[in-house]
Structure 1
Amino acid sequence: MPDVVVVGAGMIGAACAEALSAAGVDVLVLDRGTPAGGTTAAGEGNVLVSDKEPGPELQLAIASRQEWPKVLARLPEQVADVEWEPKGGLVVATTDPAPLEKFAAQQREAGVDAQLITPAEAFELEPLLTRAVTTAAYYPEDAQLQPVLATTALLAAVRSRGGEVRSGVTAVSVRRAATGRVIGVETDAGLIDCVAVVNACGPWAGAFGAAVGGPIEVLPRRGMILVTAPLPECVRHKVYDADYVGAVGSGDADLQTSTVVESTRSGTVLIGSSRERIGFDDTVKVHVLRELARKAVGLFPFLADVAVIRTYGGFRPYAPDHLPVLGPDPRVPGLWHATGHEGAGIGLAASTGRLVTELFIGVPPHVDPEPFRVDRPAVVGLP
């Protein structure tokens, strides 16, 4: 029997499974759909340190940016190309430069390489950028990868070490011993014996947690992205306006949009981003797409003449205090959670997998796990 069953074969579940298997833990990954078919498939692949305020999440992001190359080096050679691009990020302001300058200074104090540059220097990095830029910050540590390729590669690494991945299997509940400890996972295909289960169900983690006796407050937050027709090289870095940081950290349920523009290896340009708490409503809202397009043209005027070939959206797992939920659930021995990353799951996945593994096997963690603990008030509703 496996030691650990990971429920959820998206990026976070795959990263946890990969790290556990690399440490010698026997792992089985379950998903009711297909690997990387949910939130992961609706992501941009960002590995960012530039968009987080100083605090626990930023420290996790810094550690994860350092961890990603180590994880990629462990992948089987035949699946190692996940379109990893350490291209750097550029944050620009087109109005008052003071907030961006202050934010970059705070990040530098927290250990981020945040370089304030002049508009002229920004235009050298991105020649097609709007001339309305008043100041900019360059983040050489920002990177990007292809999230579906990366997730499937992580799962391939799990298989190469003797682990297993099962698609189309729904985890329904857990079986517990008389002591209360998890001894198996009940699925629609039968019981799977194990000593621990990891809830990596993304925006559905709250429902799964409740079903197995460990409810957590994780909500879906929807985001939409536009995709252009393939273009010659036109956007060299991840570029976004200074409003993006505020949108990332906001708890407002209403629609928020900010400009995020980046290219992919295939030549398409991804345009985001939106955030909206509307439950699991997947209706395509034209006014959101128009707002994304309008703001993108404001940042890169040439996009006004570029065709959009498709759009996609997805639900991101949102915790009320904006921090991931990582670690063991004290209410159900053997139940672990790895969720709540919202739109930062791709970037934070490498350190998430490492941290869960360190806690599971009992070695000193590489980051402080305390801020992410499961039994904090915002997550379990305690006073």
Structure 2
Amino acid sequence: MGVDVVVVGAGVVGAACADALSAAGLRVTVLDRGPLAAGTSAAGEGNILVSDKEPGPELALALSSLALWPSLVEDFDIEWDSKGGLVVATGDPTPLERFAAAQREVGVDARWITPVEALEMEPHLTRRVTAAVHYPQDAQVQPVLAAQALLAKVRRRGGVLRPGVAVVGLDARGVHTTEGVIACEHVVNACGPWSGEVSRVLGAPIAIAPRRGMVLVTAPLPPTVHHKVYDADYVGAVASGDADLQTSTVVESTAAGTILIGSSRERVGFDESIRVRVLRELARKAVALFPALADAPVMRAYGGFRPYAPDHLPVIGADPRVPGLWHATGHEGAGIGLAAATGALLAELLTGATPQLDPKPFRVDRPGVLLCA
């Protein structure tokens, strides 16, 4: 028996697409070659941010997603934490001030505060802070719980979830998998860092590559960090396309009392090795921002792969080369935060509804994204 849509990839972006499509009345099957929500989503910090995005299409997508997330998962406990963000400068504050001013012009709640006010919000911050911006809209979720909540809604509507099933081809009969052919009208490639590989299997390659990131996790501590706090240089690292290692200071707590310390970005393919030099750099920068962490015991470290697009914008929409093929990928480290609006936009485009956001910046056939088969 056929379905309307096969969504390939059961991370948070694939789950959000499946949720929006099934809510629109379509019959949906979700495939993943591994367990559900066990890839990039399981390795993320769960950030839902507007603070790190300059005015433009990605910020518009982030603001839309921020508005959608609470209603999408209101019946589930996904450990939603409206902690807010704090971006601090320890040098010349002018670039941060200009960045925040531009964000305010497009609707971001970016509150310029003094070093004294920053220390009142985060008493353990370094005294070298010269200025800061408070972003009350920033939030955090537990990403695996969020993805599972969305997939549970798909299942309630009659959708089918099939973990452990890989896609091996696509033709007029439907999607070819390791467990047979699934007849369908549409296929959504939502495979995160593996979207480039899967796009080739589907006959329409796109330029999505993995970008590795690592995180340190401390043992549970007394209340030490109260917001998502990062140095102003984090914004530059997010927007950079440099293949070499980049680190920037990001520190935040979890509900369990542990402290997450990031972040790193490095294009090393799918190399999963733990790089001690990266962890040392993360620790050094975290202690510079929060000196009280100098003696904090580290409980573990983990890494994951982000789906990197050459122009740092998600790829959302129909592939012009293969009828019925759609892509929802390329969110890099912002997939959790952008997932809700990505699913909504993809469903609007696929069903012919009027999109609430301009889809052109995310189109598949933009320069640098399409590759030759």
Quickly name the TM-score band, shorter chain normalised: over 0.9
TM-score when scaled to structure 1?
0.95
Pairwise CA distance, 1:175? 1.9
Contact residue 196 and residue 207 of structure 2 kept, 8 A: yes
Partner in structure 2 of residue 72 of structure 1: 73
Partner in structure 2 of residue 102 of structure 1: 98
Pairwise CA distance, 1:188? 0.6
Q: Distance in 2 between matches of 1:206 and 1:375?
A: 15
Of 344, 355, 359, the residue aligned with 2:345 is: 355
Partner in structure 2 of residue 14 of structure 1: 15
Partner in structure 2 of residue 268 of structure 1: 258
Partner in structure 1 of residue 41 of structure 2: 40
Residue type at the aligned position of 1:153: A
Q: Distance in 2 between matches of 1:20 and 1:311?
A: 36
Of 273, 278, 289, the residue aligned with 1:299 is: 289
Q: Distance in 1 between matches of 2:24 and 2:331?
A: 23
Q: Distance in 2 between matches of 1:329 and 1:62?
A: 26
| Deviation by residue 1:22-42 (Cα, 9 ceiling, x = unmatched) | 111111000000011111111
Partner in structure 2 of residue 179 of structure 1: none
Partner in structure 2 of residue 180 of structure 1: none
Q: Which residues of 2 match residues 101-250 of structure 1 at below 5 A?
A: 101-176=97-172, 183-250=173-240
Task: Report the secondary structure of 1:377's partner residue.
Answer: coil
Partner in structure 2 of residue 373 of structure 1: 363
The number of residue pairs the alignment matches comes to 371
Pairwise CA distance, 1:143? 0.5
Q: Distance in 2 between matches of 1:260 and 1:221?
A: 17
TM-score when scaled to structure 2?
0.98
Partner in structure 2 of residue 31 of structure 1: 32
| Deviation by residue 1:306-363 (Cα, 9 ceiling, x = unmatched) | 1010000011100000000001111101000000000000000000000001111111
Contact residue 12 and residue 41 of structure 2 kept, 8 A: yes
Q: Distance in 2 between matches of 1:224 and 1:311?
A: 7
Pairwise CA distance, 1:297? 0.4
Mark the runs of 5 or more structure 1 residues left unpaired by the alignment: 177-182
Partner in structure 1 of residue 354 of structure 2: 364
Q: Distance in 1 between matches of 2:290 and 2:22?
A: 44
Pairwise CA distance, 1:381? 4.7
Q: Distance in 1 between matches of 2:341 and 2:89?
A: 30
Q: Which residues of 2 match residues 252-331 of structure 1 at below 5 A?
A: 252-331=242-321
Q: Distance in 2 between matches of 1:234 and 1:21?
A: 42
Q: Distance in 2 between matches of 1:381 and 1:117?
A: 46
Displaced runs of 4+ in structure 1, greater than 6 A?
none
Q: Distance in 1 between matches of 2:4 and 2:222?
A: 48
Q: Distance in 2 between matches of 1:36 and 1:243?
A: 30
Task: Report the secondary structure of 2:198's partner residue.
Answer: helix
CA-based RMSD of the aligned residues comes to: 0.9
Q: Distance in 1 between matches of 2:15 and 2:111?
A: 33
Task: Report the secondary structure of 1:245's partner residue.
Answer: helix
